[in-house]
Structure formats: C-alpha cells, structure tokens
Structure 1
Amino acid sequence: MPFLDLQSNLPASSFNEDFLKKFTSVTAASLGKPEDRMNLVLHPGLPMLIGGSSSPCVVLSVAAIGVTDTAEKNKEHSAKICSLLTSELGLPEDRVLILFHALQPHQVGKKGTVMSFL
C-alpha cells in the first residue's frame, strides 16, 4: 500500500489523467506492488524552490512497507521514477527530488486497524 505525494510548481494542466495512470503504473512496477494498492496525492501549482531556483520542478515522497528500506532498492526506484518524470514532464534530472520513507506495518492504518493485523 505505497503512498505517493507529488508536489510541483507546474500547473495542474501538466498532470492529465493519462499521466497520473502511467506514473502510478510505473511506480507500482518499480516497487513490486499491485496498481490497485497505490495511493497518489498530487499538489500542483505550488510556490517552490530547489537549489534556489523556481524553475519547473517536482518533489516526490514515496512511503511504503518493505520496499524502500535500502539504498540499493531506492537507487533502482529513483532511476525508474526519475526517468518517467523527466520524459513526461520535460524536466531536467536536477529538478526532480525523491524522498523515500520506509514504513512498518504498524504505521499504516486501514479498515479500523493497522496493516500488522490484516
């Protein structure tokens, strides 16, 4: 049940439904998770600076159980996700930042309990 939080200073029109579906699909495949378990929140049109520049950019937070807990895994995820974001949004690699958060099953609530009990 990965959580994706995509923040950008690009306008909402840059993120059509086809992009959102492709982004979720590619990220699910990279993480080895089913697409129907993916959760995405998009925050477009934000005032943002990366490296002191307000040029078009994105910051993505990826939080998941068991698949974002090592540098080796995250290096692979980063390459695949960054490639998609740069090609689809026309961003240079240095305008894409990805934060990985390793979650434990007890940190994710669902159906009135936590994933440890589901």
Structure 2
Amino acid sequence: MPFVQLFSNQPDSTFNDEFDEQLTILLGNLLDKEPSRVNLLIVPNCRLTLGGDRSCKSIWLTIANCGVFEDRQVQIISREITKFLEEKTDINRECICIQFHDMAACKIARGGITLAERKAGLK
C-alpha cells in the first residue's frame, strides 16, 4: 500500500484529474501494486525552493512503501517517475526530487487493519 506525496510550487492546474490517474497507474506498475492500493496526495502551490531559488519550478515526491526499495529498483523507479513528471508538467528533471521510505508492514494500515494483520489473514 504505497503512500505517495507530491509537493510542488506550481499551480493546481498543472495536475489535472488525468495526471492523478496516470501517475497512480505508473506507480502501481513500478511498485508491483494494484493501482487501487496507491494513496496519492498532491499539494500544489507550496513554498518550495531548490537551493533557495523560489522561482525554479520544482517537485518534491515522497514514496513510502513496504519492501520494494532495493538499490537497483530505486534507480529504475526514479528514472521512470522523473521521465513521467518531466513530460506531464514541463518541469526540468534537475528540479524533480524523489525521496524513498521503506516501511514495515506493521506500520501501514487501511480500514483499521495493518498490512501485517492483512497478510496473516486477520480481518
């Protein structure tokens, strides 16, 4: 159950409904998860800077997931997401930052049930 947060100093109009759906599908494919399990939060109009430069159009993406962040996978996922974001938002790849967090199954819950409990067959 990936938790994805996208922060940007660009306006909401940069991220239309089609963008949300396409990014969710891409993330599901890259993380080997059903798109319906991807939780996406997009926060436009942030006070976001790179090196103190507020005029630089930028994105900060955080992905928290359980158990898929081996070094080689992070390289592949980073390239694919950066390519997608660059194409869809016209933001330069050097201004797209991605942060990965590997979470334990006991630290993720949906509907009051942790992922660890769900894997154990508890409801």
Task: Quote the Cα distance in structure 1 between the aligned partners of 2:23 and 2:111.
Answer: 26
Aligned position for 2:88: 88
Number of residue pairs the alignment of both structures matches:
117
Matched residue type, 1:96: I
Could you report, residue by residue, the CA deviation over 1:11-60 in whole angstroms, capped at 9, with x for unpaired residues?
Answer: 00111000111111111111111111110011100111012222110000
Task: Quote the Cα distance in structure 1 between the aligned partners of 2:91 and 2:104.
Answer: 32
In the alignment, structure 1 residue 111 sits paired with structure 2 residue 111: yes
Query: Per the alignment, in what secondary structure is the counterpart of residue 56 of structure 1?
Result: coil
Task: Quote the Cα distance in structure 2 between the aligned partners of 1:110 and 1:16.
Answer: 26
Query: Which sections of structure 2, spanning at least 5 residues, go unmatched?
Result: 119-123
Task: Quote the Cα distance in structure 2 between the aligned partners of 1:112 and 1:4.
Answer: 19
Query: Per the alignment, in what secondary structure is the counterpart of residue 45 of structure 1?
Result: coil
Query: Per the alignment, in what secondary structure is the counterpart of residue 28 of structure 1?
Result: helix
CA apart distance, 1:91: 1.0
Identity of aligned residues (%): 26
Give the alignment's TM-score, normalised by structure 1: 0.95
Give the RMSD, CA atoms, in angstroms: 0.9
Task: Quote the Cα distance in structure 2 between the aligned partners of 1:48 and 1:11.
Answer: 12
Q: Flag as ranges the 4+ runs of structure 1 deviating above 3 A.
A: none
Matched residue type, 1:31: L
Matched residue type, 1:48: L
Task: Quote the Cα distance in structure 2 between the aligned partners of 1:27 and 1:109.
Answer: 19
Could you report, residue by residue, the CA deviation over 1:78-108 in whole angstroms, capped at 9, with x for unpaired residues?
Answer: 0000000011100111100000000110111
Query: Per the alignment, in what secondary structure is the counterpart of residue 49 of structure 1?
Result: coil
CA apart distance, 1:74: 0.6
Query: Per the alignment, in what secondary structure is the counterpart of residue 116 of structure 2?
Result: helix
- Structure whose alpha-carbon radius of gyration is higher: 2
Quick check: 104-113 or 73-82, which moved more? 104-113
Give the alignment's TM-score, normalised by structure 2: 0.91
Task: Quote the Cα distance in structure 1 between the aligned partners of 2:112 and 2:8.
Answer: 32
